[in-house]
Amino acid sequence: MTGPLTGLHVVEIATQIAGPYAAKLFVDLGAEVTKIEPPAGDPLRRWGPFPAPDPDPACGGLFDYLNAGKRGATLDPGQPKDVAAARELIAGAHLLVENFAPGTLVGWGLGTDALQQLNPKLVVLHISHCGQSGPMRDRPMTPLTMQAASGWISGRDPDRPPVQVGARISEYVAGAYGALGALTALRMQSVGRVREVDVSQVEALLSTLPYPMLMAQRMKRLGLPANMRSAPMLGVVRATDGWVGINCLTGQHWLDVCAMLGLPEYGEQQLAVMLGGPERDEFFAKAEPILAGQTVAEIVELSQALRIPAAPVNDGATVLDCPQYAERGFFVESGSHRRPGPPFRFSKTPVPQPRPAPRLGATLAPWSSGGQALAPAVGELPFAGLRVLDLTTFWAGAYLTCYLGAFGADIVKVESIQRPDGHRYSGAFAYEGDDYYERSPIWQGTNLNKRDLTLDLTSQPGLAIARRLAAQADVVVENFSPRVVENFGLDYDALTALSPDVIVVRMPGYGLQGPWRDYVGWALNFEQTAGMSAVTGYPDGPPCNPQGPADPIVGVHAGVALLAALEHRSRTGVGQLIEVAQIEVAAGVTAEPVIEYSMNGVVSARQGNRQRGYLQGVYPTAADGAWVAVSLPDDGAVDHDAFDELVAAWTRTQRPADIVESLRAQGIAAEQVITGEQMYDPEFIGAQLDARGFYEEFEHPITGPHRYPGWPFRITPGPRRHHRSAPPTLGQHNAEILRELGLSDDDVAALRAQRVIGERVLNA
């Protein structure tokens, strides 16, 4: 079978991770991608890992992973004949992917005007540090300083510097958003001119955080510290044979953990333990020896039996032995190593095993198949006319439907007054009143652009209405544990009986099959299982959780898969099931540790704030609690420990702004590590975000006006706004949606009286 994007022609002129990862996703979906490299090749070829004792310096393991299945062409941008050859290839392409500094393509004779003459229907995907516009456009940056500027670097130990997320994970994020933005642009009606998708890597990282700017604003209004943070409970703890993550999401989880450990007396002290009071030290002094006497598998098995979200903290070695990945066959053989497979699965257009990565020195070849552009949407917005039934909860699935709604889709989000979306309680406090579940900034940020309907799906009338909505839907999205929608009779087979061409996106944490199919978990579990946590933290310390980016990253990948499936349906009339297992997406952007171990038997050590190729770190300043990230190229001639001591001795005597200004004047990448309350501030990232229209203000009926973050790219020409409507209140659109189904006012009133629908949480 052919892939959903068969016939799409993509030219990639990109290096390292972000651009090549976007193009890799297109390969996974069946597109034909030609990678153009200079004579020296993509520098990632020389990164490794390499097999011992016979390394191939022209194709390291990470390069192979990101570039498998692409065609290659080695061209010199300084040679007119090579530029002419590239132009000829681009003339027959639908999409061009590049991730150089703004203006680079102009110097190669491939600026927008030149491309317009060459191919006016072309979509160009630009991925750059801060985007193609704004006051930070040309600022020197590295992956470390981009993490600092976006808030990805966060405190792990009060006595040590905040620490980055490891394994170059941050560099994949912009690539995934780039693929989503490019597919969105390709759906838009042709306007006879080149369409550009401008992705900012800093904005992409900011977009994966749990709305810290909204939370900081909310805390201030409540008279609380703006950046008050609590530790996840229990977090990462030591077992007999490794590390395990126990991640209490609710008060019930905490009570169950205390009972499991034989410490019920701490059941009423959750908040004090989370906030680091003396109770925390006392609790862990008793809990740690109990856990240290059990294996990782024993702790996970018992926790899951009690429905407590727990997972192994896998590294590059143990992730390969994880029974869920093993039974699902996720990691695939590739020559001398194993690597992650595709991050999505299709029922009708399975992803093929790609060919090897292109060799350096390859000769340019013409396109091997007739090209086929994506079918445009029916209106001005790329998802106009698309009807989506949103059965999601928490973040990953809701993030996808928020995006679809932003660009034209009609999203009907289903909750119930008996069990509303659990994300409503994130950052909401019961003492604020009966409507406190309407006040969560985290829920609000993920649920703009939707209509909200409450239905008791345990009732016959509620389920009947859900089935009527499903029969009208083009797309159904859900991210519960598999058994939830199956128990309601809303699984794929049941939905196709209602609408044969429906596309169903299922986003289970661990997948629809496998021994862990019914395990409970959320973002931290998936990051721990996939290896993200194991590569994050201090070299001499425990693994550390990232700040939960797995959820939106999964949502973005699901969006990429869905847009490909919509294209396939537009050509064939056939819908299908898309499965996006969250642990597989997380492992796909944490590829290097697996490749390294499978190739050489080496478990990647945590690097703290270091990265090969740079002299860098996060250093104290004269301002209390303020840190700066500094990063410059390393030729290996400087002792890094001595460099850290020298830099820290200087920075701790200087104000953060003076440090950053002084180093930037010398062309050295430096950024202050920002927190949530600084994300609107023009002295930090705020001026850049405002210049690019990243925030948009909407009035929430209960909590008032808020500036909500948008998407980390701009499409030109394209929609001028990121969002269309404010987040809804519970059941806000009950009457409107039910009347559209033909119900009368009396019918609606009867459903409300029976508590099938409602506008307030039952017993709130």
CATH of the domain at 117: 3.40.50.10540
Task: For residues 441 and 482, state if they share a domain.
Answer: yes
Residue with structure tokens 């991050």?
A: 343
Task: For residues 33 and 172, state if they share a domain.
Answer: yes
Task: For residues 620 and 573, state if they share a domain.
Answer: no
Cis peptide leading into residue 77 (ω within 30°): no
Provide mean pLDDT across the span 663-682: 96
Task: For residues 618 and 505, state if they share a domain.
Answer: no
Does residue 324 lie in a domain region?
no
Contact 283, 556 (CB under 8 A): no
Contact 618, 648 (CB under 8 A): no
Cis peptide leading into residue 20 (ω within 30°): no
Helix (H, G, I), strand (E, B) or coil at 503: strand
Q: Which of 676, 700, 715 is the last residue of a domain?
A: 676
Does residue 49 lie in a domain region?
yes
Q: Give residue 116's pLDDT.
A: 96
Q: Is the pLDDT of residue 284 over 70?
A: yes
Helix (H, G, I), strand (E, B) or coil at 430: helix
Task: For residues 123 and 16, state if they share a domain.
Answer: yes
Structure tokens at 699: 């009035």
Residues paired with 243 in a beta bridge: 238
Q: Taking the chain, what is the end-to-end CA distance rounded to the nearest angstrom?
A: 52
Rounded CA separation 311/261 (Å): 17
CA 397 and chain centroid, separation: 11
Contact 706, 441 (CB under 8 A): yes
Provide mean pLDDT across the span 197-219: 96
In 3D space, the residue among 542, 509, 520 whose CA is nearest the CA of residue 239 turns out to be 542
In 3D space, the residue among 270, 224, 278 whose CA is nearest the CA of residue 250 turns out to be 270
The rounded percent of the chain whose pLDDT value lies above 70 is: 99
**Range with the lowest mean pLDDT among 448-462, 479-493, 682-696?**
479-493
Task: For residues 407 and 517, state if they share a domain.
Answer: yes
Output Rg (C-alpha) for the chain, integer angstroms.
25
**Range with the lowest mean pLDDT among 227-231, 487-491, 693-697?**
227-231
Rounded CA separation 120/91 (Å): 9
Q: Is the pLDDT of residue 380 over 90?
A: no
Structure tokens at 453: 């309907």
Task: For residues 497 and 571, state if they share a domain.
Answer: yes
Does residue 82 lie in a domain region?
yes
CA 505 and chain centroid, separation: 16
Task: For residues 613 and 558, state if they share a domain.
Answer: no
In 3D space, the residue among 723, 748, 751 whose CA is nearest the CA of residue 736 turns out to be 748
Q: Which of 209, 231, 262 is the last residue of a domain?
A: 209
C-alpha angle 364/367/369, rounded to 5°? 155
Does residue 730 lie in a domain region?
yes
Amino acid identity, position 137: R
Instruction: Count Cα neighbours of 263 within 13 Å in the Cβ-side half-sphere.
Output: 21
Q: Give residue 488's pLDDT.
A: 93
Read off the pLDDT band of 57 (50, 70, 90): confident
Does residue 43 lie in a domain region?
yes
Q: Give residue 441's pLDDT.
A: 95
Kindly list the distances between the CA atom of residue 378 and the CA atoms of 187, 189, 408, 449, in Å, as whole numbers in the listed order: 9, 8, 10, 19
More confident residue, 735 or 367: 735
Rounded CA separation 364/591 (Å): 29
User: Which range of residues forms the domain containing residue 27?
Assistant: 9-128+165-209
Phi, psi of 144 (to 5 degrees): -65, -45
Rounded CA separation 253/268 (Å): 12
Q: Is the pLDDT of residue 377 over 90?
A: no
Rounded CA separation 524/298 (Å): 19
CA 211 and chain centroid, separation: 13
Contact 171, 17 (CB under 8 A): yes
Q: Which of 676, 695, 711 is the last residue of a domain?
A: 676
Task: For residues 463 and 581, state if they share a domain.
Answer: yes
Q: How does pLDDT run across 104-141, given as a tens digit for each residue?
A: 999 889 999 999 999 999 999 999 999 999 999 999 99
Read off the pLDDT band of 572 (50, 70, 90): very high
CB atoms within 10 A of CB 264: 11
Task: For residues 550 and 664, state if they share a domain.
Answer: no
Rounded CA separation 8/301 (Å): 45
| DSSP alpha helix (H) spans, 573-639 | 582-588, 591-600
Does residue 375 lie in a domain region?
no
Task: For residues 571 and 492, state if they share a domain.
Answer: yes
In terms of residues, how long is the chain? 764
Does residue 543 lie in a domain region?
yes
Q: Is the pLDDT of residue 1 over 70?
A: no
Q: How does pLDDT run across 476-531, given as a tens digit for each residue?
A: 999 988 889 999 999 999 999 999 999 999 999 999 999 999 999 999 999 999 99
Rounded CA separation 372/121 (Å): 12
Q: How does pLDDT run across 399-430, given as a tens digit for each residue?
A: 999 999 999 999 999 999 999 999 999 888 88
| DSSP alpha helix (H) spans, 686-755 | 686-691, 734-740, 745-753
In 3D space, the residue among 392, 475, 363 whose CA is nearest the CA of residue 75 turns out to be 363
Taking the alpha carbons of 246, 247, 251, 252 in that order, is the dihedral positive or negative?
Answer: negative
Contact 534, 243 (CB under 8 A): yes
Read off the pLDDT band of 764 (50, 70, 90): low
Q: Is the pLDDT of residue 353 over 80?
A: no
CB atoms within 10 A of CB 683: 11
Largest Cα separation within the chain, whole Å, is 80
Does residue 530 lie in a domain region?
yes
Q: Is the pLDDT of residue 285 over 60?
A: yes
**Range with the lowest mean pLDDT among 174-188, 339-353, 619-633, 639-653?**
339-353
Q: Is the pLDDT of residue 274 over 90?
A: no
Q: What is the DSSP letter of 248?
A: -
Give the total number of structural domains in the chain. Answer: 3
Q: What is the DSSP letter of 702?
A: T
Taking the alpha carbons of 452, 455, 461, 467 in that order, is the dihedral positive or negative?
Answer: positive
Cis peptide leading into residue 53 (ω within 30°): yes
Instruction: Count Cα neighbours of 403 within 13 Å in the Cβ-side half-sphere.
Output: 27
DSSP secondary structure string for all residues of 290-324: HHHTS-HHHHHHHHHHTT--EEE---TTHHHH-HH
Contact 529, 315 (CB under 8 A): no
More confident residue, 366 or 494: 494
Task: For residues 741 and 613, state if they share a domain.
Answer: no
